[in-house]
């Protein structure tokens, strides 16, 4: 009789533990696993690849390279991890643009982007007409009009940086 009671008690404890663990995993799943796919489809006017040595390459969107770059940029931006503090004026942005390897995505118009910032477990919506993807692992969303920054937001990327660098390296 004692053995049955002990077996029943152990079974109940294990069942409660499994249910509790399952509920915990499924409750945090969206915060740590969820990675939305960024879509730039029909939003891009042009890509300009900037290299540290000062050369710039404009990539045709319809070419094989353009499609590969579009896919690489979307994958890169699907890995936004956390917010960066980045205060800069247009002159500073120009200086960074001329001395840092990055891809400048010029959008057809101001577009809204909804994405999930994993480190802070926050879903964010931003408007931008230019996006800068730096090979160092950061993304800068900006709204630029007449050489003036109207708005910007900087974010860090934790995965896919090496793959993005490899895509960018093919254009040099």
The DSSP code for 61 is: T
**Do both 77 and 128 map to the same domain?**
yes
For residue 109, give its domain range: 44-169
d(CA 20, CA 96): 50
Question: Quick check: is 48 in a domain?
Answer: yes
Instruction: Give domain status of residue 38, yes or no.
Output: no
Which is more confidently placed, 6 or 40? 40
Query: Residue 31: its pLDDT value, please?
Result: 47
The verdict on 94 and 151 lying in the same domain is: yes
Question: Is residue 77 within 8 Å of 38, Cβ to Cβ?
Answer: yes
Whether residue 149 sits in one domain with residue 109 = yes
Q: Kindly state whether residues 19 and 57 are assigned to the same domain.
A: no
The reply to whether 120 and 91 lie within a common domain is yes
> Looking at the whole model, is its pTM more than 0.85?
no
Block residue for tokens 């969206």: 30
Q: How many domains does the chain have?
A: 2
**Same structural domain, 120 and 59:** yes
Residue 39, in any domain of the structure: no
Taking only the tens place, the pLDDT of each residue in 98-107 is: 778 999 999 9
Q: Are residues 78 and 131 in the same domain?
A: yes
Residues 21 and 48 in one domain: no
Residue 108 binned pLDDT confidence (cut-offs 50, 70, 90): very high
Q: Is residue 106 included in any domain, yes or no? A: yes
Look at residue 52 and tell me if it is in a domain.
Answer: yes
Q: CB-based contacts of 143: which residues, under 8 Å, 6+ apart?
A: 110, 127, 128, 129, 130, 149, 150, 151, 152
Model confidence over 20-49: pLDDT tens digits?
655 554 555 454 455 556 789 899 999 999
């Amino acid at each position: 009789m004692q053995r049955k009671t002990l077996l029943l008690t152990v079974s109940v404890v294990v069942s409660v533990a499994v249910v509790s663990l399952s509920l915990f995993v499924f409750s945090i799943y969206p915060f740590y696993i969820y990675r939305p796919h960024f879509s730039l489809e029909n939003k891009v006017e042009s890509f300009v690849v900037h290299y540290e040595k000062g050369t710039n390459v404009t990539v045709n969107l319809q070419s094989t390279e353009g499609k590969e770059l579009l896919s690489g940029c979307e994958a890169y931006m699907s890995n936004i991890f956390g917010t960066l503090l980045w205060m800069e004026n247009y002159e500073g942005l120009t200086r960074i643009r001329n001395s840092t390897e990055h891809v400048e995505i010029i959008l057809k118009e101001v577009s809204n982007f909804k994405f999930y910032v994993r480190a802070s477990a926050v879903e964010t919506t931003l408007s931008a007409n230019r996006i800068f993807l730096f090979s160092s692992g950061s993304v800068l969303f900006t709204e630029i009009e007449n050489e003036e920054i109207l708005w910007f937001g900087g974010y860090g990327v934790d995965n896919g940086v090496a793959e993005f660098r490899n895509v960018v390296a093919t254009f040099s």
